Chains A and B, each alone.
Chain A
Amino acid sequence: MSSLGGGPPLDEGDLPVAIPEPVDPADVARSGVGTDEWVARVDERRAAQTGISGLIARTWERTPAFGRLVILLGPFAIFPFITNEGNLYRYGLITIIYALLAMGLNVVVGFAGLLDLGYVAFFGFGAYLYGIMASGHSGHHLQAEIAIPIVVVSTALLGLLLGLTSWRLLGDYLAIVTLFFLQAFVIFVNNANGGLNDFSYPFVGKVDLTGGANGLDQIDPFNFFGFHITTTRGYYFYTLIALALLMVMLYFVNGSRTGRAWRALREDPLAAEVMSTPVNRLKLLAFMFGAGVAGFSGTIFGAVQSGAFPGDYDVGLLITIYAIVILGGLGSIGGVVVGALVVNGAPELLRSSSNARFLFYGVLLVALFAALKPWYKAVIVLVGTIAFGFAVHGIASAVWSRGTAGHISGAGNFGKALEHWVLLPTNPSSIAGWSYFALICAALVLTLVSGWWRVAVLIPTFYLAAFVWENKLVEQVAGATRLILLGALLVVIMNVRPSGIFGTSRVEIV
């Protein structure tokens, strides 16, 4: 001030300073997306993230990239030495194949922001193409070091072709084209067995390409320069190394010119185009890259299963892979690994119904205490639900004897205790159906109420959930129930935390 010369320095108090109005803390929390202030306060909020989650988040950010890779994949490297072959396949190998697949999808959806709903078809295409080149079914036995590059390149080219068709409209229409492509792929492989109804190809006539509905069997194990991979453990390490290499590659791509351009076009394609980013070319590149990774994963899956079967490459798998990417956080490399672990591990545990029971109640309990603050409300809900259950059970046993006649088999003391708490009608089909409907309604009502009303609604909702679980959902844990939960998970994550577990929250400046 004094440098301006003239006059005594003004006292701060003389200036007409606007007195900041007291801000309602709720307003600050709500202001969220769309204001510059929200951006400016990002460090403040990070510092405010105290407690265990804050500590973990800060430590994670300080860890160098290589350290993160070791933390994420280290346990996977140890896993084969502490488990048997069967568990290594179910929990280990399938999880990392899913992680590999999801890593490719992450480039398409997370980096470039394209909704590729035919991704699983590229995975299947890889498995089938490898099978055609190297299997007892087709009669060719190509070496893996030749077959795998051919598969990866042709899958990427197929992706390019498919992407080119919607070249001018690579937005929503890509979702339709790819979804239909998946459907077309499944129809094709189901029927291309050279049978009566199959195409007659020019020059060669009818050929048995895919084995039709029975699948393409006797696929060769990988044969690299005469060295055969035959054990699950061998495939496990092969896939793990591939996954690690891909993660390292994506880490560098992410920071590269291309990676930054991808993120730019994900955030705002129009703005990116105005900045003379070649938008369509970059989108196609991402799409091709994803397809190539899927084809590569397909060869592993085909060789591991020693067969390719049409039923494996359907919408169920697509949803699984999407759930992995979204749970882990769109665009997050490490998140995908955690997502794969959760999404593949949990349903594998669900396969036996007594494990599934513990998992179900465990998840409910954890969710209750994580979501309902302050803690005493959660305790009230817990105690309330238990008391509510015994009350309902008591009343029902007096007036509706059929309602408590059922039994839970094979769950030990926990199951016996449950029999005294949850209603188990002898013929639950119809009433469980209506309860399922009521449960959905109750869950939706929960999103509309708040405060103590939420506590009040939660108690019957939890009991209803237990009732539906024991009488209906537990029957089909490996099939419909799993996909119902994954579907609900996608909707819930999108509504509650669109950035997933590890994704960075996105800032939209309007």
Chain B
Amino acid sequence: MNWSLFFGELVSGLTLGSIYALIALGYTMVYGILKLLNFAHGDVYMVGAFVGFFVLQWLGGALSPAVTGWLVVAIMFVVGMLACGLLGVGIERFAYRPLRNAPRIAPLISALGVSIFLQNSALLLWGPQFRSYDTFDLVGVKSYHIGNNFFISNLQILTIAVSIGLTIVLALVVSRTRTGKAMRATSFDRDAAEMMGISIDRVISFTFFLGSALAAAGGIMFGLVFGQIFSLMGFTAGLKGFTAAVVGGIGSIPGAVLGGFLIGLTEAFATGYLPGGSVYANLYVFALLIGMFLIRPSGLLGSPVIQKV
């Protein structure tokens, strides 16, 4: 067996998976509270990657940054996450909130419209070309190895660590804070929560803020690890984040992370091992989704939905 290929795909799968996990968290939280598939989420991720890029430019670019490389990366994360958090709140306020009591299909179509709007606005403003983060010049990429076959770069470690770290923070926010309690209550029964004096609007806005900020972090990490970003990157990534959320069990935070890693690993190993994998990796991810629907429709960690009348 070719262990070097195996470990290579394993590491790249975990890296990809941690990015998908961050996207999936946003989907899962919004779905948990609003029962809404937020199609625009993938495009928020794309905007996050671009905000990170422009912050990098503004700080002098990768070749001559105004401050040290890692500080630049930190600023990119903070600004990108804040900007996208606000974008998410704005999208909810103007595109979804007026439709909260409309028929189920109305906010979905509205979400589709927002997605197309964001994607093509990016195309209009920033063009179709690829932009490079120039990570090599910015922070320097080091590769560590264990034995002869297992290689992992500092950026890949960072990506996986940041993703797990953010998930833990999120889990703590949801389980330990007052706002988190309000979120859980809203997700359980919105009307009852409102009667208990919870400001539903604020809770939903906060949820969108968190989800969109995590997506932005994912976008910036994608830029750092894979180097290149482009204005149509949100669509496929959003779709996979979505699949991750469904595979893990939509509405469940650990499920989203698990699903993210599963999708990332599926994609990486399909690329390496399955027939036609280098071009058809996404088809195998699709097959995984279909298989999941057939075997366990509520996802790995999801609970079956009981419809109340």
- Enumerate chain A residues within 8 angstroms of B293, measured Cβ to Cβ: 165-166, 168-169, 173, 177
Residue of A nearest to B283 (CB): A184
Which residues of chain A from 133 to 185 have a CB within 8 Å of any chain B CB? 165-166, 168-169, 171-173, 175-177, 179-181, 183-184
Inter-subunit contact A487/B115 (CB<8 Å): yes
Number of A-B contacts (CB under 8 A): 153
On chain A, the residues within 8 Å of B283 by CB distance are 184, 187-188
Name A200's closest neighbour in chain B (CB-CB). Answer: B275
Which of A166, A183, A270 contacts B236, CB < 8 Å? A183
User: Could you mark each residue 260-292 of chain A with 1 if its beta carbon is under 8 Å from any beta carbon of chain B, else 0?
Assistant: 000000000010000000000000000000000
Please give, as numbers and ranges, the residues of chain B lying within 8 Å of A464 by CB-CB distance: none
B92-129 Cβ-contact flags toward A at 8 Å (1 or 0): 00110011011111111110111111111101110000
Give the residues in chain A near B102, CB-CB below 8 Å: 494, 498
Asked whether, in the complex, the Cβ of A476 is within 8 Å of the Cβ of B124, the reply is yes
Which A residues touch B101, using CB under 8 A? 33
A340 to chain B, nearest CB (A): 17
B90 touches A490 (CB 8 A): no
CB of B290 within 8 A of CB of A191, answer no
Q: Closest CB of chain A to B246's CB: distance in Å?
A: 6
Most B-side CB within 10 Å, residue of A166, A486, A494, A506: A494
Q: Which residues of B contact A183 (CB under 8 A)?
A: 235-236, 239, 282, 286
Q: Are B37 and A172 in contact (CB under 8 A)?
A: yes
CB interface residues, A 462-482, toward B, < 8 Å:
472-473, 476, 479-481
Given contacts A487-B116, A494-B99, A187 and B279 within 8 Å (CB-CB): yes
B110 adjacent to A494 (CB under 8 Å): yes
Name which of B90, B109, B114, B294 has the most chain A CB atoms within 10 A of its CB.
B109
Please, which residues of chain B bring their CB within 8 A of the CB of A181?
286
Residue A319 is within 8 A (CB to CB) of chain B in the complex: yes
Residues of A within 8 A of B236 (CB): 183
B243 at the interface (CB under 8 A from A): yes
Query: Do most interface residues of chain A lie in helix, strand or loop, or is the interface mixed?
Result: helix
Per-position 1/0 for B277-309, Cβ under 8 A of A: 011101100100110011001000000000101
- Residue B276 interfacial (CB < 8 Å): yes
Chain A residue nearest to B281 in the complex (CB): A187
Given A176-B243, A177-B293, A444-B94, the answer on whether A481 and B124 have CB atoms closer than 8 Å is yes
Judging by beta carbons under 8 Å apart, are B289 and A115 in contact? Answer: no
Q: Which of B115, B289, B307 gathers the greatest number of chain A CB atoms within 10 Å?
A: B289
Is A315 positioned at the interface, with any CB of B under 8 Å from its CB? Answer: yes
Please tell me the size bucket of the interface on A: 35 or more
The CA of A188 and the CA of B278, in the complex, are separated in Å by 12
Minimal beta-carbon separation of A465 from chain B (angstroms): 14
Chain A residues near B279 (CB-CB < 8 A) = 187, 190-191, 197-198
Residues of B within 8 A of A457 (CB): none
Question: Given A172, A270, A319, A491, which contacts B110 in the complex, CB threshold below 8 Å?
Answer: A491
Q: State which of B105, B118, B278, B309 has its C-beta within 8 Å of the C-beta of A109.
A: B105
Number of B residues with CB within 8 Å of any CB on chain A: 52
B282 touches A184 (CB 8 A): yes
Within 8 Å by CB of A472, from B105, B117, B119, B124, lies B124
Judge if B242 is at the interface, Cβ distance under 8 Å: yes
Cβ-defined partner of A433 (8 Å) among B108, B113, B119, B125: B125
Query: Does A459 count as interface, using CB distance less than 8 angstroms?
Result: no
Contact call A199/B276, Cβ cutoff below 8 A = yes
Name A492's closest neighbour in chain B (CB-CB): B113
Given A187-B280, A494-B110, verify A169-B297 contact (CB < 8 Å).
yes
A180-B289, A322-B112 given as contacts; is B117 within 8 A of A488 (CB)? yes
- Taking a contact as CB atoms under 8 Å apart, the answer to whether B286 and A490 are in contact is no
Residue of chain A at shortest CB distance from B123 = A480
Q: Decide: B286 and A488 in contact? CB cutoff 8 A.
A: no
A60 CA to B270 CA, complexed, in Å: 57
**Cβ-defined partner of B280 (8 Å) among A191, A483, A486:** A191
Residues of A within 8 A of B (CB): 33, 109, 113, 115, 117, 165-166, 168-169, 171-173, 175-177, 179-181, 183-184, 187-188, 190-191, 197-200, 270, 315, 319, 322, 326, 330, 433, 436, 444, 447, 472-473, 476, 479-481, 483-484, 486-491, 494-495, 498, 506, 508
A-B contact pairs, 22 of them (CB 8 A): A113-B105, A115-B105, A166-B293, A168-B293, A168-B297, A172-B35, A172-B37, A173-B246, A177-B293, A183-B282, A184-B282, A184-B283, A188-B280, A191-B276, A326-B109, A433-B125, A476-B123, A484-B124, A487-B116, A487-B117, A487-B119, A494-B109
Add 11 more A-B contacts to A165-B293, A486-B113, A487-B113 (CB < 8 A). Answer: A173-B293, A176-B242, A180-B289, A181-B286, A183-B239, A184-B286, A191-B276, A481-B124, A494-B106, A495-B110, A498-B99
